[in-house]
Structure 1
Amino acid sequence: MTPSSTFRIAHLSDLHCGGPYFEPNLLVRAISEINDLAPDVVVCTGDLTTLGFRHEYQTARDYLDRLACEHLVVVPGNHDSRNVGYVHFEELFGPRNSVLRNGDVAIVAVDSTEPDLDHGQIGRGRYPWIEQEFTAEPATLKIFVLHHHLLPVPGTGRERNVVYDAGDAIECLLRSGVHLVLSGHKHVPYAWRLENLFVVNTGTVSSLRLRGNTRPCYNLIEVSGSHVDIWRKHPFHGQEKIIQFSVDTFEYEKYTGRIEREVSSR
């Protein structure tokens, strides 16, 4: 990326097609807005379906086909791995683990799910592959994508769904020089900085299964040179900045509300 260009990534999650709380109009509005933004990459961090059935997958595929973006990165969520749903995922969306290199951005995406279980793990057998893919070619921004959380999310009640090997997985990502982790899962958006790793999850884009006062949303990542801005967007109902940081100095500014914000530097 040149200093004058902006690289955009739209990050949506937890569509939950086919369930009683799925709201198609929310997804249609989000897709329309994302197409207007013309991102370079769209990332979808799982729970495309509610029960992993083929007709739910087909509905999700039909909606995501409306995205005008050429590059789509998708991983399954725990709901997608129910009822042997990962078979339909592979048929309709491709491999459950993938790598995308677009310009100076490297994205490594993994399936963190376990069949018919809500919890997840990365798996120690995949650490060498993750490190290899992140170090194979130089990249200004390295992004790791999964469905589950690596860190507990405030406002989600009892936390049971952080990946089982979160500590070792985080150490693997730090060794790999990863800058940003994107995930979904609990329908509550949040952002952290852990050492030189920024962990940002988004809420649900089209489900009414909402905790507290959260609203359906997706995230927009804008990269200009070494500077990264991440916005939480409520389709056609405004946006708010979540966090901004530098991949060079790791200075960052985290926004905790419309006015209140938290400032820190390395």
Structure 2
Amino acid sequence: MSRVSSKTYPVKKSPVVVAHISDFHIGSYHFVANLMNRTIHELNELRPDIVVVTGDLTNEGFRQEYLTAKSYLDNLECENIVIVPGNHDSRNVGYLHFQELFGPLFRCLEYEGVFIMGVDSSEPDLDDGKIGREKYGWIVNNFQSTDGFKIFALHHHLLPVPGTGRERNIVYDAGDILELLIYAGVDLVLTGHKHVPYVWRLEDMYLVNAGTISSLRLRGHTKPCYNLIEIREDDVRVLRKYPFGGSDVIARFGAGAGETQRELSGVVREIISTDI
């Protein structure tokens, strides 16, 4: 059993709903436009307060891929959108197109007691990630300037994700970043990158990895999906939603959450059942 958290959150609206989508890979032959359109349609029906996009909008960072990605995102009816680039977006000097079409690589957004920081973890033409020591003070200072529910969003995951094979693409300075985030009182970290949804708990901070919403480049029996986060004063629920399908609660924390049972990921569970 995990520990019971007694934290409460000073949100001004209950719930504040955050949609977390990732890894479109527009331009790849694995990209499925029907899944992308369906996700946009579902989000417009669900009407989240904030949409967070954790990178790999494109497959090769080409301008036409970016323009296609923007045409999809322009159909979102949400006014509060935080977008960060992924490693695929920074290929072929694609980060220039990102900044022209979507704005700064590092940004903050505050809404009804929820504070979101989006950061660029990509390195041009590399699959590995890095935040960089020069950004550490900026990260801590911005988080310490708010007492709201704190979310940190980046493309690369900060902890290895089960079922993704040999770990090669973690953030180079992940240890430093994790220490900074815990010190700054961050509540939730949102990432993408490996197309495998998963949740980690590290002290009182949750790290939620998203799957892909529109690519069939999938591992094992994972399916295209995205996350919905419902933030209340004493309770936070993280749901996994499948385009054309239902949803499951994958994490719950806060003063009203009670105890939750840690479950094995689907991939690891399949390996164990095969070996027994």
User: Of 46, 50, 64, which aligns to 1:41?
Assistant: 50
- Asked if the contact 2:150–2:187 (Cα under 8 Å) also holds between the matched residues in 1, the reply is yes
User: Moved runs in structure 1, 4+ residues, more than 3 A?
Assistant: 1-4, 248-252, 254-258
Provide the rounded CA distance (Å) in 1 between the counterparts of 2:160 and 2:167: 6
Report 1 or 2 for greater relative contact order, CA contacts < 8 Å, sequence distance ≥ 6.
2
In the other structure, the counterpart of 2:269 is none
Provide the rounded CA distance (Å) in 2 between the counterparts of 1:245 and 1:201: 16
- Asked if the contact 1:148–1:162 (Cα under 8 Å) also holds between the matched residues in 2, the reply is yes
Provide the rounded CA distance (Å) in 1 between the counterparts of 2:133 and 2:21: 27
TM-score by length of 2: 0.89
User: Helix, strand or coil for the counterpart of 1:253?
Assistant: coil
- Asked if the contact 1:243–1:255 (Cα under 8 Å) also holds between the matched residues in 2, the reply is no
Bigger share in strand: 1
In the other structure, the counterpart of 1:230 is 238
User: Helix, strand or coil for the counterpart of 1:142?
Assistant: strand
In the other structure, the counterpart of 2:6 is none
- Asked if the contact 1:243–1:254 (Cα under 8 Å) also holds between the matched residues in 2, the reply is no
- Asked if the contact 1:14–1:45 (Cα under 8 Å) also holds between the matched residues in 2, the reply is yes
Q: Which runs of 5+ in 2 are unaligned?
A: 1-9, 266-276
In the other structure, the counterpart of 2:197 is 189
Structure 1 residues 96 and 175, CA gap change in structure 2 (3 angstroms): same
- Asked if the contact 2:239–2:247 (Cα under 8 Å) also holds between the matched residues in 1, the reply is yes
In the other structure, the counterpart of 1:240 is 248
1:169 and 2:177 aligned: yes
TM-score by length of 1: 0.92
User: Of 136, 145, 158, which aligns to 2:153?
Assistant: 145
Per the TM alignment, residue 129 of structure 1 is displaced from its structure 2 partner at its CA by 0.2
User: Helix, strand or coil for the counterpart of 2:116?
Assistant: strand
Structure 1 residues 256 and 188, CA gap change in structure 2 (3 angstroms): same
Matches within 5 A, 1:129-144: 129-139=138-148, 141-144=149-152
Give the AA of the match of 2:239.
W
Provide the rounded CA distance (Å) in 1 between the counterparts of 2:169 and 2:211: 15
User: Helix, strand or coil for the counterpart of 1:8?
Assistant: strand
1:179 and 2:181 aligned: no
Matches within 5 A, 1:212-223: 212-223=220-231
In the other structure, the counterpart of 2:137 is 128
User: Helix, strand or coil for the counterpart of 1:240?
Assistant: strand
- Asked if the contact 2:236–2:257 (Cα under 8 Å) also holds between the matched residues in 1, the reply is no
Q: For residues 189-244 of structure 1, what are the alpha-carbon distances to aligned partners after superposition, in whole Å with 9 as ceiling and x for unaligned?
A: 00010011100011000001000000000000001113100000001211111100
Provide the rounded CA distance (Å) in 2 between the counterparts of 1:234 and 1:123: 34
Provide the rounded CA distance (Å) in 1 between the counterparts of 2:83 and 2:154: 9
Structure 1 residues 138 and 154, CA gap change in structure 2 (3 angstroms): same
Structure 1 residues 167 and 38, CA gap change in structure 2 (3 angstroms): same
Tell me the number of residue pairs that the alignment of Structure 1 and Structure 2 aligns: 256
Provide the rounded CA distance (Å) in 1 between the counterparts of 2:66 and 2:96: 10
- Asked if the contact 1:242–1:256 (Cα under 8 Å) also holds between the matched residues in 2, the reply is no
Provide the rounded CA distance (Å) in 2 between the counterparts of 1:176 and 1:249: 23
- Asked if the contact 1:112–1:147 (Cα under 8 Å) also holds between the matched residues in 2, the reply is yes
Provide the rounded CA distance (Å) in 1 between the counterparts of 2:69 and 2:260: 35
Per the TM alignment, residue 138 of structure 1 is displaced from its structure 2 partner at its CA by 2.1
User: Helix, strand or coil for the counterpart of 2:175?
Assistant: helix
1:256 and 2:266 aligned: no
User: Helix, strand or coil for the counterpart of 1:73?
Assistant: strand
In the other structure, the counterpart of 2:4 is none
How big is the alpha-carbon RMSD for the aligned residues of Structure 1 and Structure 2? Answer: 1.7
1:159 and 2:159 aligned: no
User: Of 35, 47, 69, which aligns to 1:60?
Assistant: 69
Per the TM alignment, residue 6 of structure 1 is displaced from its structure 2 partner at its CA by 1.1
